[in-house]
Amino acid sequence: MKLFIKSFFLSILLIFLVDSASAQTGAELLIKGNRATLERQYTVAISYYSEYIKLNPSDFRGYFNRGTTEYNAGMYEEAVKDFTTTLFHNPIYKEAYYYRGQCYHQQTLYDMAISDYSHVLKTDSFSVPFLKLRSEAYSISNREMLALADLNKAIEVNKLSGDLYKRRAELKVKLKDVNGALRDYSSVQKLLPSYKMVHYIKGNLYLEILETEFACEEFEEALDNEVVVAERNYQENCGISK
């Protein structure tokens, strides 16, 4: 009986040591893969993650890490497969929807990208990053009003984001809403003071609605901010050189 108990505990200890060694090896593979990815050695990183997956076939981390590396390497089809497997093992992992959506976007599969972004927005309807992504996909696939609705919602959440106003202004230009675009670019001017091109853009928009005086004021501001492309429009429309 004592021999049996001793043999039993030796067996348990051996299993623990094997599992511990396996876990250590797996962790090392992830670390090596992450380091190789940071160094842009994508082929090497993919190899490490593939080894990790062999040891841990049900761990979503291996597939996700390999997928992000494939995405960075421009291997979008392979990345989609890994992100799909990631979501099989972890269906609520938002990052996998983000990257798979980006892969679809890069492949011009906009409907599939929109589907992934929409999946996240069903449970987190005010997620500004996913609203921005879906808006971009809507806009590039010529569904401007849907794109506008997403940006309106995103701005409701974050009224101090100059980037959101800039995106909406660009979309309004596409929709021929010049006055709306001007209002948004005025917000950009306040929220993103480092964006010097805003005065040049506003000047051109004022010319479209025949507000030459306002256009000249904007071109003058642009030139004061060393936006040299404004010089020609200033001379042609304002009658003097700056």
Output the pTM of the full model. Answer: 0.83
Dihedral sign (CA 87, 91, 93, 96): positive
Residues 117 and 159 in one domain: no
Residue ending a domain, among 137, 162, 197, is: 137
pLDDT for residue 2: 40
Number of domains in the chain: 2
Percent share of the chain, pLDDT over 70: 89
Q: Do 56 and 26 contact (CB within 8 A), yes or no?
A: yes
Closest CA to 103 of 74, 132, 65, 127: 74
Residues 126 and 173 in one domain: no
Q: Within a domain: residue 10?
A: no
Is residue 25 pLDDT above 90, yes or no?
no
- Which amino acid type is present at position 18? V
Q: What is the residue range of 193's domain?
A: 154-242
Dihedral sign (CA 94, 99, 100, 104): positive
Q: Within a domain: residue 146?
A: no
**Mean pLDDT for the chain overall:** 89
**Total number of residues shown for the chain:** 242
Q: Within a domain: residue 142?
A: no
CA distances to 19, 90, 180, 188 from 160, rounded to whole Å, are 51, 34, 17, 9
Residue 144: DSSP 8-state:
H
Residues 66 and 37 in one domain: yes
Residues 214 and 158 in one domain: yes
Residues 131 and 175 in one domain: no
- Residue 192: phi and psi, rounded to 5, are -125, 70
Closest CA to 111 of 145, 91, 84, 137: 137
71-116 residue pLDDT tens: 999 999 999 999 999 999 999 999 999 999 999 999 999 999 999 9
Q: Do 222 and 203 contact (CB within 8 A), yes or no?
A: yes
Residues 56 and 117 in one domain: yes
Residues 29 and 130 in one domain: yes
Is residue 52 pLDDT above 50, yes or no?
yes
